[in-house]
Structure 1
Amino acid sequence: MVSIHPAQRVAVLADAQNLYHSAQSQFSQNVDYAALLEKAVQDRELTRAIAYVIRADSPDEERFFEALTDIGFETKIKDIKTFADGTKKADWDVGLSLDAVTLADHVDTLVLVTGDGDFSRLCSHLRHEGVRVEVMGFGSSTAEELIEATDSFIDLSERKETFLL
């Protein structure tokens, strides 16, 4: 297991949809992305911080995207797709995974901010490649297999006053 030290290069990849839905369904609050980024980095060297967001044409989303940029996140935006039957779909799983694998050669630690169990295989792969993997998510909505596949898990719901607005 890779230990934490100040010279570690860190990338933070935040699954904004997953975070938003978890925070809303459990606490009816929004996530404090500034506090999240600060905790994720923990005085180490930030290489990249990317927030994966969905454009759904809701009233405040452009302001939210700008706020993420001001905090220090690079935003990757995908438009929501509406299919002929009315169902809507948008997810960043493949894009986030590709970015994580690409960044693996350039960082010591990758902090994944999500509860999505689909990323457990990615975590196992990154750890096999020698990258320390940390996950931050809301405990009750974070998949057990994701927690098991990481070096460290931070349960955001244990510090609501820090991570929620």
Structure 2
Amino acid sequence: MQQILKVGVFVDAENVRYNGGYQLRYDILRMFAGRYGGSLVRLNTYIAFDQERAKEDPEYKRRALTYQQMVREYGWKVIVKNVRRYTDDEGNVTTKANADLDMAVDAMLQAEKLDLLLMVTGDGDFLQVVTALQDRGCRVELLGFRNVSQELRRLVDDYYSGFLIPDLLPISYEPRNEWGAPGSCVRGVCSKWFPEKGYGFLRFIKRIDPNLWIIDPRLEDSPYESVFCHANELADEVTDEVMMNRDSILEFYIEESDKDDGLVANNVRLVPSFGSNGL
């Protein structure tokens, strides 16, 4: 009898929001976490709420509570962290809603009944937590967006950029975008680039699939699609160095080639490595 994989997901929502994951779709994240066909035992997200602002700004309160309810409807446990304000000696006010400790403790306590933990964050403060979870026999995967700790990436069993997961983040200027269809906008990486020839090949994930480790699009079970790219389609900031860096996340449109059965890339832009969005 085959054992069912028990999965837990822990989302550091504030870290994600301030590092490129604003408007993350929790329904798609749930699908991604369950791609192995396992049982989603824990779905925890740690969301900040500013009580003082809510008293003065009814619209903020309405939007925040509506958002929390929507996340709950997708089957997530929402752990609300109230924002706290601190004033230093010079009178400067800072706000914090740090969920690191809560998330770390929950992950450690709940790992006893889990086989796989997906941590959605980029915070290097979780290094010791990851090591402890792995020592307990759990597989730990990481999903992040911008400003992800390099040490954390190297420590986990696998790392995924949230920008590359189909539909996990909306394409704001393409509200009806059909990811992977001709004419759609997708995000991917450069798999091969020939500077002297002025062309190469991009690669994007065409579907959420348990075989994300099969990165060669030529293999039958690979969930990846290869796209031809000519240098004329690159934006000014997309240099040869950018194309030859596998960590560069590219956003581009795909069209059917008029020369063969393949796809070609148009309007290739670089997804910035830094930046944030607010609620």
Q: Structure 1 residue aligned with 2:34, among 6, 25, 41?
A: 41
Q: What is the RMSD computed on CA atoms of the aligned residues?
A: 1.6
Separation in 1, partners of 2:15, 2:41 = 23
Deviations along 1:46-75, whole A, 9 cap, x unmatched?
Answer: 101011010023341111100110011100
Tell me the CA shift for residue 121 of structure 1: 1.5
**Divergent runs of 4+, >4 A:** none
Pair 1:75 & 2:68 matched: no
Note if contact 1:13-1:51 (Cα within 8 Å) is conserved in structure 2: yes
Deviations along 1:86-133, whole A, 9 cap, x unmatched?
Answer: 211111000000000001111111111111111122111100110110
Note if contact 1:6-1:44 (Cα within 8 Å) is conserved in structure 2: no
What is the letter of the counterpart of residue 19 of structure 1? V
Structure with greater proportional strand content: 2
Map 1:12-31 to 2 at 5 A.
Answer: 12-23=9-20, 29-31=22-24
Between the two proteins, the alignment pairs up a number of residues equal to 155
* TM-score, length of structure 1 as denominator length: 0.87
Pair 1:51 & 2:51 matched: no
Structure with greater proportional helix content: 1
Separation in 1, partners of 2:151, 2:126 = 9
Separation in 2, partners of 1:65, 1:6 = 33
Pair 1:163 & 2:156 matched: no
Separation in 2, partners of 1:40, 1:129 = 20
Separation in 1, partners of 2:74, 2:128 = 29
Aligned to 1:147: 153
Aligned to 1:123: 130
Higher RCO, 1 vs 2 (CA within 8 Å, ≥6 residues apart): 1
Note if contact 1:121-1:149 (Cα within 8 Å) is conserved in structure 2: no
The gaps in structure 1 that reach 5 residues or longer are none
What is the letter of the counterpart of residue 71 of structure 1? Y
Larger Rg: 2
Aligned to 2:100: 93
Aligned to 1:110: 117
What is the letter of the counterpart of residue 160 of structure 2? I
Note if contact 1:23-1:31 (Cα within 8 Å) is conserved in structure 2: no
Q: Percent identity?
A: 26
